Structure 1
Amino acid sequence: MGAVPEFSRAMLKPLGAPAGRIECYIEVPFDLGEKRCYPDGLIRVSRGSRTWVALVEVKTGRNELATAQLENYLDIAKEQGFDALITISNEIPSVAGQHPTTVDRRKLRKVSLHHWSWTYLLSGAVMQKEHRGVSDPDQAWVLGELIRYLEHPKSGALELDDMGGGWVAVRQAVRSSTLRATDKSAPEVVSRFDALLRYASLRLGRRLGTDVMHALSRRELADPTLRTQSALTSLTEEGTLSGAIRIPDAVGNVHVTADLRASQVTCHLDIDAPRQGRARTRVNWLVRQLKDAPGSVRIEAFVANARGAGATELLERVREDPDSLILDPTKEIRRFRVEMSQPMGLKRGRGRGAFIDSFLELLDAFYSDVVQTLKAWSASPPKLRGEAEPEPTSLTSTSLSSQDGA
């Protein structure tokens, strides 16, 4: 943080820190009553007469943040007039901006509490070095060494590698239709799935060099309990876990659904059809963009003023016969859905036959084969009509005008 200003600026700006001189310290001692506390770090940013200070608490491996410890550090920050407390661990909250540890809200009146997962820090470092750039070569080397360290399996910066202790029980309960919303394991599985969506977003964004986000509505961002409740309802009533990922400049959000009854994971994306041309022309427009996609991709066509499902066919069949997606040539196709599925892994951890790996593999394949090849339709600009030849004499009723064509 102290050695690479571009990296520290990118990480600290969203927390409200000014752009200025950065100083970093470790294990600064503070007295809190009769106790002596040693936060893992302290960051101070100075710009003119303004100073922004944050304490830092770090956990590695499977160690989790402790409420009592964080509340002590919040009290210290308040006494010292500091601005924030930053926590770093392998915990990934289900909603961006939400802290994984519950603390007394009264202690946050004067001090803000922020959380970085190690995955988030690694993604930020890769995006800064590989995509945004570091002006100084020595600083770029330092940032590269941080990336190399965090990617090492013994660094303590772990990837998301577990769906939680209740995963197997919940999956079996869904298959037997015995899962209830009151089951204690269900909220944990929902939270882990949303954490997986955030992890997948950070992982994909690191490879693309852009900010990929877990897509939530404004209401869900304002009140995370709404997202939790809707996900619980979907899990108990339909046996599915679903969410969306927003990728900048993509034609639409990527929706991912895990069907625990069918043991299948599905990715789909909706794209508006062209507003001009016959139905067959619109189908061919989409098929041309999917020339390298596997034939197992499923396409669904929705027509105007129609309810329910549309005409559905596999891509390999549509390539041979575009009319297979057209039930009624007189109706206007307004939207397409492109979908890819694969069997779902069942294990709670990572590796062959694991749910997390099957989820990430499908998302990668769907993006490379479908999402990055699709472009939204845009109308061609109008063409100039032929101009009328000038009349040497005064205009008459039979003179050419701009409405008469060439």
Structure 2
Amino acid sequence: MIKGSNVSLGALSEDTGSVLVSLGWGSPTGEGDADVSVLLLDQNGKVRSDTDFYFYNNPVAADGSVQLLGKTPTAHGDEDRISFDLTAVPSDVERIVVAASRYGEARFGELEDVRLTLADGAGEDLLHFAIDDADSVSAIIFGELYRRAEAWKFRAVGQGYATGLAGLATDFGVDIEDDAAAVEAQARESAAADDRADRPAPDPAPTPAPAEETDGRPSAPPTPETAVPAPRRSEDEAGRKKPAARPRTAKKKVTLPKVVKKPLAENDSWRPARLFPVSSLKSDRDRETRATSVLLSVMAQVPEFGRRLTAAFGAPAGRMETFTEVTLPHGDTPRRPDGVIRVERAGKLWTALVETKTNGNALKSDQVQAYMDIAARRGYEAVITVSNDVALEGSPLVDVKVDRRRKHKVGLWHLSWAEVAHQAQLLIRHEGVGNAAHAWLLQELLHYLQHDNSGCHGFQNMGPAWVPVRNGIDDETLCQGDLRALEVVESWERLVRQVCLGLGGELGQKVLPVQRTKRGTDPGARRSGLADRLCADGKLQAELRIEGTPGVLTVTADLRTGKLRTSIEIPAPGQGYPLSWAKRLVRHLSDAPADLHVETLVEGETGGPRGTLERLRPEPADLLPKDGTTRVTGFRLSLLKSMGSTRGNAETGFIRSVDDAVHRFYTTVVIHLDRTTPRQGPSRENTTTSA
């Protein structure tokens, strides 16, 4: 599409009750980023209320019509996805604006390949819109969905805003909170509440206090363990109505629970009773059957979780029921998919067949093909595969044939167990669910998935090419073009994505692999180039961008030396003196490992002074160039450790050693560094929104 053009969604596909909009961009440095937002507008072109503004602080509509699904890496950069259930959009909403924004002094002109893609409920791309003239703007309206005669159309807009997210939202009637300090006050209030909850609670008041509102959302009702009486208010205070919270465009801070309560067990041999036990699992079939039932039952009982996992697959927001071991006719031999998901909304059914694998077992193409055929014949919408493997762009896990002559289209989607655990972690540890029972169910699910005996603990095998490639690198017989090197590169990419999911779920922050590729680069060609580099220098390398950190975290596996290096480069501050920078850095790293390597980055040279933290602690000045004239541009921090030798996920395996190295580096080094400047918009940029 070109700017200003429009098209009817019904003319492109018959499956547009739900659509998936993806906003994407790339960056030459791999560090460029933006966030998406959605506004629901009435016939006057304004939001009906502040809650019609959906962004990182308000990502999900209560009716399921809008859900921000977060970022996913692609071959060309990042892609931010939004799920729309158009059948659930209120009748008085005329237009849906889709936008994205950057922070502070960042502008869209620094990004490349800025684009929008819209797909139907089966995942088939319907339209593309590229924005080539983004320059000095910090926010862009990519496009809008709008109603015409009870049908939905899409218009390519491409309009830029120099006033950022806050300015864009204000133009559409959102009342922005201009007090940025309120975010800090909220964090302090939350911390104080934790302190009060740790103290013994006084006798409860005869009448419980009404639930307070935080950021415009009602909080969960108090439980007997945490309830404290509300402070007595004067008559004047009681008579004053609390003003409604206004949106803040600064990101909300999540305060995690403090210390876990001391268990009542007499000793460590006592094990708590689990809702989903794993001790009795003896065979792969047992693991597969129980894992399917556990996952599907929790999806049905915790609406936030079920919706989170299925929204990207085109499922509407509605009543969900799940089933296992269903028998469906298929020729002479009936088929029994591992599970079925059904969602009912307004009398219409959305159905997906589920095929599950655990313990590293591979999906079978003939099985998935049979389920695709059954789904097409019976009018089902999707087939969802779940396994330990992580899907890569342009490299499908299973090959299936789609009969294009069939009018009904079926979407084929994949979930890794690591993604399932990631979504559960985000909900219970950072975003919250409807009630305490739902949180407990998700916690039990997470405990089950992470147990070694469940078979669901993620990608766990570097593949049969791992040992031959390592041997070939050791004896220098591995040649460029060897397909086994390509297999190892693909496995490495899957491992890195899984590490990002695990760390992101724990932190509640975006953790994404950096893709440094030119626009239009084919994913297969990119991986072939990495395979040739592996043959030449014997190294696998990946870069991770963690939201809020001052640099990109680099992981390098040197297969020649058997060492893993995790590192981060910190740019020098814009003001001050090098000696002050060195002292401050060493002071911030007071709790970091003594064997941390610190290297000074200098202008025009390959490297400056370096040393271990143990040696530099008494003399930070040793980090400065001796001539006193060379300009210091930053510092590189690195940790080295031995990598696992086997291809699997055992204690001595390569996969676990990489995961442990990244987590150790972040928790012992990166967490102590100065955070990046809080993201702000330009003129109202000290604003933040909470909806």
State the TM-score bracket (shorter-chain normalisation): 0.7 to 0.9
How far off its partner does 1:88 sit?
0.7
CA distance in 1: counterparts of 2:326 and 2:519, whole angstroms = 38
Distance 1:292 1:158, change over 3 A: closer
**Equivalent position of 2:319 in the other structure:** 21
Matches within 5 A, 1:4-403: 4-33=302-331, 35-48=333-346, 51-93=349-391, 95=392, 99-104=396-401, 110-217=409-516, 223-304=522-603, 306-327=604-625, 328-376=627-675
When normalised by structure 1's length, the TM-score is: 0.82
How far off its partner does 1:3 sit?
0.9
Give yes or no for contact 2:360–2:459 (8 Å, CA) kept in 1: no
Distance 1:30 1:177, change over 3 A: same
Give yes or no for contact 2:541–2:555 (8 Å, CA) kept in 1: yes
Distance 1:252 1:101, change over 3 A: farther
CA distance in 1: counterparts of 2:549 and 2:344, whole angstroms = 39
Identity, % of aligned pairs? 37
Describe the superposition over 1:250-278 as per-residue Cα deviations: whole angstroms up to 9, x where unpaired. 22221100011121100011221101122
When normalised by structure 2's length, the TM-score is: 0.50
Describe the superposition over 1:233-259 as per-residue Cα deviations: whole angstroms up to 9, x where unpaired. 221011001112232222222110001
CA distance in 2: counterparts of 1:168 and 1:278, whole angstroms = 49
CA distance in 2: counterparts of 1:272 and 1:106, whole angstroms = 54
- In our comparison, the structure showing a higher alpha carbon Rg is 1
Distance 1:106 1:228, change over 3 A: farther
Amino acid at match of 2:638: E
CA distance in 2: counterparts of 1:324 and 1:180, whole angstroms = 43
How far off its partner does 1:51 sit?
4.6
Describe the superposition over 1:357-392 as per-residue Cα deviations: whole angstroms up to 9, x where unpaired. 33222212211111111124669xxxxxxxxxxxxx
How far off its partner does 1:198 sit?
2.0
Give yes or no for contact 1:317–1:324 (8 Å, CA) kept in 2: no
CA distance in 2: counterparts of 1:100 and 1:310, whole angstroms = 46
How far off its partner does 1:106 sit?
6.2
**More helix, by proportion:** 1
CA distance in 2: counterparts of 1:14 and 1:246, whole angstroms = 23
Distance 1:125 1:180, change over 3 A: same
Give yes or no for contact 1:257–1:267 (8 Å, CA) kept in 2: yes
Describe the superposition over 1:268-310 as per-residue Cα deviations: whole angstroms up to 9, x where unpaired. 1122110112222222232222121123212222234x15334
Which 5+ residue runs of structure 1 have no aligned equivalent? 380-406
Distance 1:274 1:158, change over 3 A: closer
CA distance in 2: counterparts of 1:25 and 1:354, whole angstroms = 36
**SS of 1:101 mapped into structure 2:** coil
Describe the superposition over 1:187-227 as per-residue Cα deviations: whole angstroms up to 9, x where unpaired. 22222222221222222233323443333346599743144
Q: Which has the higher contact order (CA 8 A, sep 6+)?
A: 2
CA distance in 2: counterparts of 1:106 and 1:302, whole angstroms = 57
**Equivalent position of 2:160 in the other structure:** none
Amino acid at match of 1:83: E
**SS of 1:331 mapped into structure 2:** coil
How far off its partner does 1:9 sit?
1.4
Distance 1:31 1:217, change over 3 A: farther
CA distance in 2: counterparts of 1:220 and 1:362, whole angstroms = 32
Amino acid at match of 2:633: R
How far off its partner does 1:86 sit?
0.8
How far off its partner does 1:158 sit?
4.1
Q: Alignment RMSD, CA only?
A: 2.9
Amino acid at match of 1:6: E
Give yes or no for contact 2:394–2:524 (8 Å, CA) kept in 1: no
Distance 1:115 1:276, change over 3 A: same
Distance 1:246 1:291, change over 3 A: same
How far off its partner does 1:337 sit?
1.5
Which 5+ residue runs of structure 2 have no aligned equivalent? 1-298, 679-691
CA distance in 1: counterparts of 2:527 and 2:377, whole angstroms = 36
